[in-house]
Structure 1
Amino acid sequence: MTTASTAITSSAPTGQRTEEQELAELQRVHGPALFHFLLGLTFGDRQRAEDLLQETLVRAWQHPEAFGGPYESMRPWLFTVGRRLAIDARRSRQARPAEVSDGVLAATPSTGDHTESSAAAIDVRAAVRSLSAEHQAVLVQIYFRGLGVNEAAEVLGIPPGTVKSRSHYALRALGRALPGYAGAQAA
């Protein structure tokens, strides 16, 4: 910005200040303080602070009426604009989904091998078959069909309290029937 404004200022008539000269003077006088302020708002991220500084100066250039305001200094206006830009940038970053690093992708299990899930499904089916007919009926209604306690009670023709107690005891019996459950519970 300073090289472009230097080239432009040399062609301006003496005694008259151009917008570029005023903007260059604004950057010279207030730029360092504004940069350090923005650096604090970006938690030390120099690149973001520099981007916000440039955007703040662009806003000053787009609003020349701010130069002729009743202020002794443009600094409060610049700091307010810079702070609002920093807040907007932070909000837009938070609104976007977080980026996934390569480490997370490497730790994600492969979906190619379904052996473990198939074996687990066989074990669950065998464990459910080992339950009494009443316990099986309650589990089917609540967990496989997704009904609530009151809905399952209506379908089965029993009180809601009975559905709750049967599901409780059925889950305990199911846990005991599944291989490896006792070891996982003790850990």
Structure 2
Amino acid sequence: MNTSTNRIDQLPAQDGALVEGLYREHGTALFRFIAGLTGGDRQLAEDVVQETLLRAWKHAERLCAMESASIRPWLITVARRLVIDAHRARTARPRETDASALEVLPGPDEMSQALETMTVSDALDTLSPFHREALVETYLKGRTIAQASAHLGVPASTLKSRIYYASHAMRLALQERDQKEGPGR
């Protein structure tokens, strides 16, 4: 088909000859254009080419009135809009996950432990640096009073005092947090 002078109405619109002629003349260029838009997704590009040609067949009367030079831009516009619609449909729908991804999710006990760890960590952040390091060295690192006092370079009695006041401050911080969150926890 000579694209400069022929009109599409010279193709009979029956028995799929219109679609075959459009595919023969514009199919390769249309496929390349769509493949570029879809990031090389050949299956989607093929589907969009088919849908574009189906829409051309449905609008055969409109296309028959066009010059051949105007048909490719019309097809490209339809194809571009179909790619946009496909992208929107994919992003609007949540992706399906396979069973192996669900196995990686933490169980209720792990979630509860993670939440407790976050709560304790937040409460530790409210303490002074001296009180925080006293609790970290003794409770979290499991050091004895003698080991922790030697590591921190303070007398054991000072460390015991810091642990006492730090524990009291932690208790208050956690109670305050519970009151803010309410009974629905």
- Shorter-chain TM band: 0.5 to 0.7
Shift of residue 51, structure 1, vs aligned partner: 0.4
User: What's the CA shift for 1:115?
Assistant: 11
**Structure 1's 51 and 138: CA in aligned 2 closer, same or farther, altered over 3 A?**
same
Q: SS state of the match for residue 65, structure 2?
A: coil
Q: What is the one-letter code of the residue matched to 2:53?
A: L
Structure 1: where are the runs of 5+ without partners? Answer: 1-14, 147-187
Match for residue 26 of structure 1 among 13, 22, 45 = 22
Q: Aligned residues: percent identity?
A: 40
Whole-Å separation in 2 of the counterparts to 1:104 and 1:70: 52
Distance, in Å, in 1 between the alignment partners of 2:107 and 2:174 is 33
CA contact (8 A) 1:129 1:136 kept: no
User: What is the Cα deviation at residue 133 of structure 1?
Assistant: 9.1
Aligned twin of 2:91: 94
Structure 2: distance between partners of 1:42 and 1:50: 11
**Residue 105 in structure 1 maps to residue 73 in structure 2:** no
Q: Does 1:17 align with 2:12?
A: yes
- TM-score by length of structure 1 reads 0.54
1:24-82: CA deviations, max 9, x gaps?
A: 11110001110111111110010000000000011011111232233333101100000
- Give structure 1 regions of 4+ aligned residues with deviation exceeding 3 angstroms: 113-117, 127-141
Displacement of 1:137: 6.6
SS at match of 1:67: helix
| Superposed CA offset, 1:121-148 (max 9, x none) | 9x96xx998349976774444x2339xx
- What is the 5 A alignment of 1:83-162? 83-111=80-108, 113=109, 117=113, 120=116, 130-131=168-169, 138-141=176-179, 143-145=180-182
The 8 Å contact of residues 34 and 79 in structure 1, kept in 2 or not, is answered as yes
Whichever residue aligns with residue 22 of structure 1, its letter is L
Cα–Cα, structure 1 residues 33 and 139, in superposed 2: closer, same or farther, change >3 Å?
closer
| Letter matched to residue 107 of structure 1 | V
Q: What root-mean-square deviation, in Å, do the aligned CA atoms of Structure 1 and Structure 2 show?
A: 3.7
What is the distance in 2 between the residues matched to 1:37 and 1:85? 12
- 1:81 paired residue among 78, 81, 102: 78
Q: CA deviation at 1:109?
A: 1.9
Equivalent residues in 2 for 1:42-53, closer than 5 Å: 42-53=38-49
